[in-house]
């Protein structure tokens, strides 16, 4: 099962109960693109109808895990419900992002990811301090590459 499929299943599990959920994608800087996504992190969360928050005790675990592997956090993917603003970055999303470095991306998947993670239907936002800027769909798709384990090993010569 691919990294994207595992992420979709995780998001949809909460979505079936109309609860938001999130996953994190980590990897390595890539000269050809902004990032080579190699890992899926599914931290414990507190999820409700209108929000999802990573449990505080998970934060040092995430930091240690990334450091031990030499990876960086590049993307947060989280769900919203349906409706007119389902792909918009909420005030809470803006105020409490997991990543604050320039270039960090948040993908907001509407409909609780019922149809999967479809970038064409999602809201894609990039942190360009001090603001969040919406990223056009075509640009977002070109900037991130989801790697197979073999590709990561080949690129890093592990």
User: Would you write out the chain's pLDDT as a tens digit for each of its 158 residues?
Assistant: 788 889 999 999 999 999 999 999 998 887 765 678 889 999 999 998 888 999 999 999 999 999 999 999 999 999 999 999 999 999 988 888 898 888 899 999 999 999 999 888 999 999 999 999 999 877 877 766 676 555 554 544 44
pLDDT at 143: 66
- Note whether 144 and 34 are within 8 A (CB): yes
- For the chain, which residues make up each domain, given as ranges? 3-129+148-156
CATH topology classification for 3-129+148-156: Cytidine Deaminase; domain 2 (3.40.140)
Helix (H, G, I), strand (E, B) or coil at 25: strand
- Note whether 35 and 146 are within 8 A (CB): no
pLDDT at 144: 63
Does this model's pTM top 0.85? My answer is yes
Residue 9's alpha-carbon distances to 21, 46, 52, 56, 70, in angstroms, are: 11, 17, 16, 23, 27
The phi, psi pair for 91, rounded to 5°, reads -60, -40
* Strand partners of residue 42: none
Give one DSSP letter per residue of 46-66, joined into a string.
EE-SS-EEE-TTHHHHHHHHH
- Note whether 120 and 139 are within 8 A (CB): no
């Amino acid at each position: 099962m691919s990294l994207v499929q595992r992420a979709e299943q995780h998001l949809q599990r909460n979505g079936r109960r109309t609860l938001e959920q999130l996953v994190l994608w980590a990897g390595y800087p890539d000269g050809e693109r902004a990032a080579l996504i190699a890992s899926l992190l599914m931290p414990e969360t507190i999820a409700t109808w209108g929000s999802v928050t990573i449990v505080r005790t998970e934060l040092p675990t995430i930091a240690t895990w990334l450091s031990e592997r030499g990876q960086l956090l590049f993307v947060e993917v989280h769900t919203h419900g349906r409706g007119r603003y389902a792909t918009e970055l909420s005030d809470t999303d803006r105020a409490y992002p997991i990543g604050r470095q320039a270039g960090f991306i948040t993908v907001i998947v509407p409909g609780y990811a019922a149809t999967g993670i479809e970038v064409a239907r999602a809201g894609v936002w990039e942190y360009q301090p001090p603001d969040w800027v919406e990223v056009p769909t075509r640009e977002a798709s070109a900037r991130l590459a989801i790697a197979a384990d073999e590709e990561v090993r080949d690129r890093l010569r592990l």
